[in-house]
A and B are shown apart, each in its own frame.
Chain A
Amino acid sequence: MRIDGKGLIDRGTRLGFTFDGHRYEGHPGDTLASALLANDVRLVGRSFKYHRPRGILTAGSEEPNALVTLHDGAHREPNARATVTELFDGLAARSQNRFPSLDWDLLAVNDLLSPFLGAGFYYKTFMWPRAFWEKLYEPAIRRAAGLGALSGQPDPDRHETAFAHCDLLVIGAGPAGLMAALTAGRAGADVILADEDLRPGGRLLSETLEIDGGPGVDWADTAVEELEALPNVRFMPRTAVTGAYDHGTYGALERLPRGPKRPVDCFWRIHARAAVLAAGALERPVGFADNDRPGVMMAGAVRGYLNRYGAAAGKAFVVFGNNDDAHRTALDLADAGLHVAAVIDSRHEARLSGPFDVHAGAQVIGTRGGRALEAVVIRHPNGRVESIAADCLAMSGGWNPSVHLTCHMGARPVWQEDIAAFVPPPGAVPGLIPAGAAAGVFSTHGCLASGAKAAREALEVLGITAAHAPLPEAEDAPYAIRPLWLVEGKGRAWLDFQNDVTAKDVKQAAQENFRSVEHMKRYTTQGMATDQGKNSNVAALAILADATGRTIPETGTTTFRPPYVPVPIAAMGAGGRGRGFAPERLTTSHAASLERGAPMIEAGLWFRPSWFPRGGETHWRQSCDREVRHVREAVGVTDVSTLGKIDIQGPDAATLLDFVYTNTFSTLKPGRVRYGLMLREDGFVMDDGTTARLGEQHYVMTTTTAAAGQVMRHLDFVTQVLKPGLDVSFTSVTEHWAQFAVAGPKARELLSGLLDTDLSDEAWPFMSCGEVRLSGIAARLFRISFSGETGFEIAVPARYGDSLFRLLVARAESLGGGAYGMEALNVLRIEKGFLTHAELHGRTTAFDLGMEGLMSRKKDFVGRTMAARPGLVDPERERLVGLKPIGPVKSLTSGAFLFEPEAEATRENAEGYTTSVAFSPTLGHFLALGFLKNGPERLGEKVRLVDHLRGYETLCEVIHPVAFDRDGGRARG
């Protein structure tokens, strides 16, 4: 119920929301959880395994029980924690993991089966009979498994990632964090202050503690006002720092309230020269029978709901704890006029006075109630058992400093006996200094002092001196606690509320010899749910320690890993869907190609046209075959800009080329072009291309489209590392030049009149190059051919690319030809036995490709030594051949294997494979390129092509890889 006169909510405004279809009201400042409690909704979910009724346990992101599904339709978000969901008007939430309803859940029958479903049950059941696994057990388990469900529709929300830099990152804006930020901010350091919550104050928001004689929250608000006025400080609310990584890098998830065009979250990568971890501490439960009933909550959360949200979690309260801090809940409740039936403190020496019964040395041994708490059963020191009527039990087993980030790089926390808790190991993350409750300092004054000191220490390392300012006045009560992990007795004491792990499960694990804490975790699944053990780790390992006769430090903790809170994959991958998945590289002819209806294919990041359909064509082969005929019979135009082009200049340019290519380029005359083969140092082919010599010390190298980056990297390596003395420089000019191939018997006719040069065979012999002018523009012309026809490539500065492409295509069409795309380009080169990375796939050598003649014997070059290994020049290696079909099936596929006609198609009998396949309109049948053992010696032989993947086979004849125009005369015409 809602209490008057308490809370930081805006009672003047009402917000309507629904939970499981029921309508309720709340206020700005509420979370879904606080609004539910204010409306007396106690039952919010069902546990994972046993479907036990669950209520709200905490008031923070560590919440294990109140996991709900938010929103409808495509925006649906499962497993949202109601305790950190900001209430807004129209919020629609639904409970999870129950059928048909929260009140009446059929799978609660699992609870009756609990003796069979204890720790490690799935290692012992569902084993037999084997056949039942696939058909019965697995589908059943899948249906029962999981919490919440995705919408199944594409995510309509926007997400973001961003980078930030600072001198000091302060993690947490409670008293310690605020003091750290003030100290550093006032000293002029660049500070980022991040807090999970939407407003500053941390624990101050939930307590009635005072600072400088006024409410703690007021001090927090004033502090942030001062910080936000400083230009060197950035306050990031709603931002949880999720992980500590190498070299001062931190990940953080910022969640944003919904708005038009606004991302719902932003994943930050923050680089901080130093950081203060002021992440506070989390309260831990006590284990006792039936401690999971709705209405059993953390003591700090009960008073938090009262103080921050004006929501009373019940009408009759019992407080149970082992420390003084829990007393605050009883006092705050009583001050607000609420009925506190009793305070149970397990310590005999506990002292507390107030308008309630105090039972020192007593323990809670059980609870009563159906789907909600009705009574608390206690055992007095003298053994007497008593039942106390209550609808809310506020429990506290003490506080765990939130050490997590300090352990993200492999360190383990250190046990501190006097506070019965783990604290950060010193120096575990370079530059990260814990402060306040995260360091095991629990009083308000202690936190303020600790925060200021941590900031000063962090800044000193950076060479910045921060002033010692006087601290605000605040309480400095000592933290008194006596450990109590488990109340012994009958019944199941729950540790992990999400995965339904009990104290008995942990003891059973120890009994079955899963004594290591890492084994106990996996065997019982304790700590493996979405709260990552925040509510159960320490108790579980304490019980394990006890069961195995060790101390807590000896037992140790499991590994801490990021993220501290769940991070949606959509946030980390923000912007990476659809067009944003990768940069799109478009050629200058892209728009013109689209206008002509060309479908695009992706070649790496580039988009290239596959074919150019003409009216009446309904199948791609019609277009492709026509384009091939255009090139062989008239003239074709295609955009070849995507090939890498590297401009190389300098006195040692030729020396560099002689070293990276197998053949010799120092002998190439200016004005000439030569094909070059480039190896990796291990002797396998890296890439091929043509390199043109434009001047004495000026070359332009081409690479295949896909290998451009790799070749640049290679040239960088050679010139920086292997031959740093060379006087040569190189620059990529792939993008500066738009380059088009004009190929076919009418190529000269097309280009004449466009260029200021005589295009005869004498002026421009095959494999020549030079500078020309086109309409007054400085251009480059290369007489080279990938089609095998008379061919030129014309390059103009890219600003003219679109215009030139349209012009060339119009001219080609007027000559009975036209544009051609990647499919036709591929057919043409296969007919000629020219190679692409289908054949240069990284495991072929020059020898395999029949190019051993290109390996100079007069010079060293990259790959020379290793290429000479006997295994790489063995004639029995699979070597380049062509293939054409014979027999009843007339088509061929690539990626198929080759066998002797009578041999069984097994792995041992495979003698080769196909790499490229095309239907040749020029020859009227299919062609393939591939590799075959001792291939060049077997021309005319029959082999059987078997495509296991497609279930397909045919007989082939081994032919020379150049199936058309064997001597290459057409290109030289």
Chain B
Amino acid sequence: MADLIAKTPCAGLLPFENGVATLWEPAPVPMTAIAPYRGRAEALSEALRAAHGLDWPGPGETSGEGAARLIWFDRAHGLLMGVAPAPALAEHAALTDQSDAWALVRLEGEGAAEVLARLTPLDLRESEFPVGRTARSLLGHMQGSITRLEPRVYQLMVFRSMAGTLVHELTTAMEQVAARG
């Protein structure tokens, strides 16, 4: 028997910090895509509340502020983060493990929105994208998920295989914003 070693998507690439913002990779957490079966939305909502204390998010919404969060992830899916899904959920929804599918980073600091303006067409003004809002949009040329966790803290996700490109684009943007002085 051999032991396998685990690596995170951004291993060796982060953290990166300059006067404008900090970019770092949080420790990996369980992530599960949840898609309710037809006619089971209500039942799923109840099961979610009972098991995890979370509400099913509408488009662009997130639920939960602690370790466990449920974020709207696309037309058909919510993404449960931070906790493994309770078995009771499987009766009402398709559950698919996504824990290793995504490169997930946090960008925080005064200049975080200015940095993101280089990479996403998303309107990140506080009035349009307040704390708790999430969106699927472009980060550079990559499909991504962007969530505002706190006023100046963003969670950014792209496919795991593109982790290197994500770090490259973000650190370049951070350098170039800082260079404006």
Contacts and interface: CB of A to CB of B under 8 A. Distances in A.
Contacts of B101: 732-736, 798
B37 A651 contact: yes
Interface stretch (B49-57, B61-69, B147-155, B172-180): B172-180
Interface in B108-159: 117-118, 120-125, 127-128, 140-142, 158-159
Contacts of A190: 125, 127
A753 B1 CA distance: 6
A695 to B, nearest CB: 11
B121 A163 contact: yes
B62 to A, nearest CB: 19
Given A261-B179, A584-B162, A584-B165, A775 B2 contact: yes
A561 interface: no
Interface string B83-114: 00000000000111111111000000000000
A777 B5 CA distance: 11
B5 A259 contact: no
B41 interface: no
Given A586-B161, A606-B161, A733 B178 contact: no
Contacts of A797: 97, 99-100
A889 interface: no
Majority SS of interface residues in chain B?
loop
A154 interface: no
Given A584-B162, A736-B99, A775 B3 contact: yes
A261 B175 contact: yes
Nearest to A269: B121
B73 to A, nearest CB: 9
Interface string A146-167: 0000000000001011111100
A204 B58 CA distance: 52
A798 B159 CA distance: 11
Which of B75, B118, B128, B169 is packed against the most chain A CB atoms within 10 Å? Answer: B118
B3 to A, nearest CB: 6
Interface stretch (A65-73, A505-513, A802-810): A802-810
A799 B8 contact: yes
Contacts of B96: 647, 649, 731, 733
Contact of A585 (B3, B35, B76, B159): B159
A736 B117 contact: no
Given A262-B180, A796-B4, A580 B169 contact: yes
A38 interface: no
Contacts of B76: 729
Nearest to B118: A162
B116 to A, nearest CB: 9
Interface size class of B (residues with CB under 8 A): 35 or more
B4 A804 contact: yes
Nearest to A729: B35
Contact of A729 (B94, B172, B173): B94
Interface residues of A, number: 56
B54 to A, nearest CB: 19
Contacts of A584: 162, 164-165
B40 to A, nearest CB: 9
Contacts of A262: 176, 179-181
Given A753-B1, A799-B100, A261 B178 contact: yes
A605 to B, nearest CB: 8
Contact of B6 (A587, A729, A736, A800): A800
A594 interface: no
Contacts of A588: 7
A170 B32 CA distance: 46
A729 B90 CA distance: 13
B172 to A, nearest CB: 7
A727 interface: yes
Nearest to A753: B1
Nearest to B98: A736
Q: Which of A580, A587, A649, A736 has the most CB of B within 10 A?
A: A736
A727 B38 contact: yes
B59 interface: no
A263 B181 contact: no
Contact of A799 (B7, B121, B122, B142): B7
A797 B2 CA distance: 16
A271 interface: yes
A634 B16 CA distance: 46
Q: DSSP class of A's interface residues: helix, strand, loop or mixed?
A: mixed
Contacts of A582: 141
A579 B163 CA distance: 13
Contacts of A269: 121
Contact of A733 (B3, B75, B98, B163): B98
Contact of A803 (B7, B125, B128, B163): B7
B78 to A, nearest CB: 11
Interface in A51-95: none
B161 A575 contact: no
Interface string B11-54: 00000000000000000100001010110000000000000000
A160 B118 contact: yes
Interface centre among A160, A727, A731, A775 (most CB of B within 10 A): A731
A256 interface: yes
B120 A163 contact: yes
A589 to B, nearest CB: 11
B102 A735 contact: yes
B161 A256 contact: no
A727 B93 CA distance: 10
A585 B141 contact: no
A775 to B, nearest CB: 5
A564 B29 CA distance: 50
B83 to A, nearest CB: 17
Contacts of B94: 649-650, 729, 731
Contacts of B173: 160
Nearest to A163: B121
A732 B73 CA distance: 13
Contacts of B37: 650-651, 727, 729
B28 A799 contact: yes
Contact of B1 (A649, A727, A775): A775
A615 interface: no
A269 B127 CA distance: 19
Nearest to A584: B165
Interface in A719-754: 720, 727, 729, 731-737, 753-754
Contacts of A651: 37
Contact of B100 (A587, A736, A754): A736
Contact of B169 (A162, A575, A606): A575
Contacts of B124: 165
Nearest to B115: A162
Contacts of B165: 579, 583-584
A802 B7 contact: yes
Interface string A563-590: 0000000000001000110111111100
A624 interface: no
A796 B99 CA distance: 12
A803 B100 CA distance: 14
B28 to A, nearest CB: 7
A593 to B, nearest CB: 14
B123 A165 contact: yes
B4 A803 contact: yes
B72 to A, nearest CB: 14
B109 to A, nearest CB: 17
Nearest to A166: B125
8 contacts: A163-B121, A735-B159, A736-B99, A736-B101, A798-B101, A800-B6, A803-B7, A807-B4
Interface of B: 1-9, 28, 33, 35, 37-38, 75-77, 94-102, 117-118, 120-125, 127-128, 140-142, 158-165, 168-169, 172-173, 175-176, 178-181
Given A575-B169, A647-B96, 4 more contacts: A162-B118, A575-B172, A796-B4, A798-B100
Interface of A: 158, 160-165, 190, 256, 259-263, 269, 271, 575, 579-580, 582-588, 606, 647, 649-651, 720, 727, 729, 731-737, 753-754, 774-775, 777, 796-804, 807
- In the A-B complex, the 4 residue pairs with the closest CB atoms: A729-B35, A649-B94, A736-B101, A262-B179
